[in-house]
Amino acid sequence: MNNVQYPKGAITCLDKGFIRLVDSMGSDDAIVQAARVSYGKGTTKVSRDKGLIRYLLRHRHSTPFEMVELKFHAKMPIFVARQWVRHRTANINEYSLRYSEAQHDFYIPEKKDIHFQ
């Protein structure tokens, strides 16, 4: 039986992992304002803002989305964490054994999930 305690609002993943949104800053307004700065027009209508956001997503214009900050609390195996931090806009804090005691908690993949490369 898995007796793992998860924080309130957490979405579980893998056998003992989770992710939850802790905080956010910015909104759709911040995204469209950043996008429109490049051609000097201010925000017009909400319907046009939504259309602009869809356009930015569809055409992979990611810079305006960097005007919004999302803070997550996540627990994952180290091999997942190393892939996750490759993103250029991430800021990471990790559990440190310099300041904390080691936990007897680690990820062991199911035998069926082990593959050779």
Q: What is the pLDDT of residues 46-88, one digit of tens each?
A: 678 899 999 999 999 988 998 999 999 999 888 888 888 776 6
Do residues 64 and 31 touch, judged by C-beta distance below 8 A? Answer: yes
Instruction: Give how many domains the chain has, as a whole number.
Output: 2
Q: What percent of the chain has pLDDT over 70?
A: 89
In terms of residue numbers, what domain contains 76? 8-25+70-117
Task: With CA atoms as reference, report the closest residue to 74 among 89, 98, 88, 91.
Answer: 91
Same domain, 58 and 75: no
Same domain, 97 and 85: yes
Same domain, 46 and 78: no
Same domain, 21 and 78: yes
Asked, for residue 3, whether it belongs to a domain, the answer is no
Same domain, 60 and 91: no
- For 38, 98, 104, 114, the CA distances from 109, given in Å and listed in that order, are 48, 27, 16, 7
Same domain, 32 and 57: yes
Q: Tokens at residue 39, please?
A: 């051609």
